[in-house]
Amino acid sequence: MAVLRNLLLTVGAASAAVASSNDNLKSCLQYALTDSGSVAFPGDPFYQISDVKVYNLNIPITPAAVTFPTSSQQVAAIVKCAADNGYHVQAKSGGHSYGNYGLGGTDGAVVVDLKHLTQFSMDNTNWQATIGAGTLLGDVTRRLHDAGGRAMSHGTCPQVGSGGHFTIGGLGPTSRQFGAALDHILEVEVVLANSSVVRANKDQNQDILWAIKGAASGFGIVTEFKVRTEPEPGTAVKYEYSFKIGTTEQRGSLFKNWQAYMSNPNLTRKLASTLTLLQDSMIITGTFFGTQEEYDDLKIGSQFPGANGTAVVFEDWLGLVGDWAEEAALELGGGVASNFYSKSSSWTPQTLMSSETIDKMFEYIDLADKDTLLWFLLFDFQGGYTSDVSADTTSYAHRDVLFWLQSYSINLLGSVSQTQIDFLDQVNKICTPTDTPYAAYPGYVDPLMPNGAEAYWGSNLPRLQEIKAEIDPKNVFKNPQSPLPA
């Protein structure tokens, strides 16, 4: 009890010291945002569960305020209130960061929730769409469909937000054909640290556009995107092969077949594929954007002897996207918050896992103490369009990646244990290429990873640091793993 009382006293003293800047922040925000419900503070009823509402329960955060602006001008006013009073700022779009909108809230940042910025329009002369940064992916799909049967690349979870997704990469089943979500971006409207609202495109503020396409959380708040769209893919085949049984050797050999088949440089870009490893099964899933006959010609089934396979043909795009969403919901619980830890790793065509490494990985996985049955490893096949673009075209750097690994360990009852973390660390250690710099996907935030900025942005980090020094020297848009000013 004495320990607890001392702790409370210390906290009390510390909060008295910041009380005056806190009061100034409060009155500034209340003056800028006069609509009811457009700003919430710690202590307000349901602050943590309805205003803060984190996705990863394993990372508790307490922002100094959560704001709900309705215009870019209000976003600018919020940034000014925060910066003038010495607070950091983080945007929140879909709130689906593994690190809870960038961990910006851990030290009491001001959160700018963009849920009201969902404007949409389509220019029918060039099929360029304007999308508010608070629009969730499910709504992006539907609005593009309704506006002339158009589509763009993005991930499969409908509750993810475009603000956080389009600016960090945005990989989905059509990315081998159309690029990452950020490859669709032609222009952004963005609020900068000095609270000015600017547009960035190929003719103006090119550096800002370059930084936004891969690293936005440390550079500004995008309020609106203008994107290239593509005609919706027509007929598609969704396939699934699952394996319930198998010795360590059989599982390793299946993985080797999959890696060999997918790494053929001549393989069609119409094929997407993911290999998922779970406690008691291995599943190969994906979509082929073509007809059943074309799919059968690929003879995928014969690559995986002994598998139970299904192939379902979809004629309508919304039906297919809906089916992906159901699958995404099964993986991480989709929109549902939980305690989890996640890591990522990657391979280029030059650094693929050797046969020995694959064997070692499966041996380790079969024997390791995982402390949960709820762990899984997703190996995503990439390359294609995303690899046509050179590494310095956007701040998103990992253009040469052919396979991504996302690994997860979940605890439904409480905090993730050290054993769970050690398991994912050790898998990464065994399978990650050692002769090239470690490349992690910036969209799968791993708050425990040392040197995050190097791993996320690789060779583009120095230029990002220079741009940061120019447009946000005081680190207003603080994200613990973002580039620091040069």
Ligand X SMILES: *[C@@H]1O[C@H](CO)[C@@H](O)[C@H](O)[C@H]1NC(C)=O
Ligand Y SMILES: Cc1cc2nc3c(=O)[nH]c(=O)nc-3n(C[C@H](O)[C@H](O)[C@H](O)COP(=O)(O)OP(=O)(O)OC[C@H]3O[C@@H](n4cnc5c(N)ncnc54)[C@H](O)[C@@H]3O)c2cc1C
Binding site for ligand X (CB under 6 A): 192, 194, 196, 243-245, 264, 266, 306-308, 470-471
Q: Which of 80, 150, 165, 270 binds ligand Y (CB under 6 A)?
A: 165
Residue 270 touches which of ligand Y, ligand X, none (CB < 5 to 8 A by kind)? Answer: none
DSSP assigned state of 271? B
Residue 244 touches which of ligand Y, ligand X, none (CB < 5 to 8 A by kind)? Answer: ligand X
Q: Does 377 bind ligand Y (CB under 6 A)?
A: no
DSSP, collapsed to helix, strand or coil, labels residue 31 as helix
Residue 160 touches which of ligand X, ligand Y, none (CB < 5 to 8 A by kind)? Answer: ligand Y
Question: Quick one: which of 466, 471, 442 has its CA closest to 454?
Answer: 442
Q: Which of 38, 395, 479, 481 binds ligand Y (CB under 6 A)?
A: 479
Cβ atoms of 300 and 268 within 8 Å: the answer is: no
Q: Find all residues with CB under 8 Å of 214, minimum gap 6, and list them.
A: 167, 168, 169, 182, 394, 395, 396, 397, 442, 457, 460
DSSP assigned state of 261? H
Residue 471 touches which of ligand X, ligand Y, none (CB < 5 to 8 A by kind)? Answer: ligand X
Q: Does 213 bind ligand Y (CB under 6 A)?
A: no
Q: Pick out residues in 129-158 that bind ligand Y (CB under 6 A).
A: 133, 155-157
Stretch that binds ligand Y, among 80-88, 96-104, 272-280, 366-374 (CB under 6 A): 96-104
Please, what is the minimum distance in Å from the beta carbon of residue 10 to ligand Y?
30
Site string for ligand Y, 321-350 (x = CB under 6 A): -------x---x-x----------------
Question: Quick one: which of 328, 405, 382, 398 has its CA closest to 175?
Answer: 382
Tally the residues of the chain.
Answer: 486
Q: Which amino acid is at 140?
A: V
Nearer to ligand X, 307 or 391 (CB): 307
Question: Quick one: which of 63, 69, 62 has its CA closest to 29?
Answer: 69
Cβ atoms of 242 and 100 within 8 Å: the answer is: no
Nearer to ligand X, 106 or 465 (CB): 465
Residue 233 touches which of ligand X, ligand Y, none (CB < 5 to 8 A by kind)? Answer: none
Nearer to ligand X, 207 or 425 (CB): 207
Residue 127: C-alpha distances to residues 182, 318, 478 (Å):
17, 19, 35
Question: Quick one: which of 187, 206, 53 has its CA closest to 130?
Answer: 187
- Identify the H or E element spanning 208: helix 206-215
Residue numbers at the binding site for ligand Y (CB under 6 A): 90-98, 101-102, 114, 133, 155-157, 160-161, 163-165, 167-172, 216-217, 221-222, 328, 332, 334, 443, 479
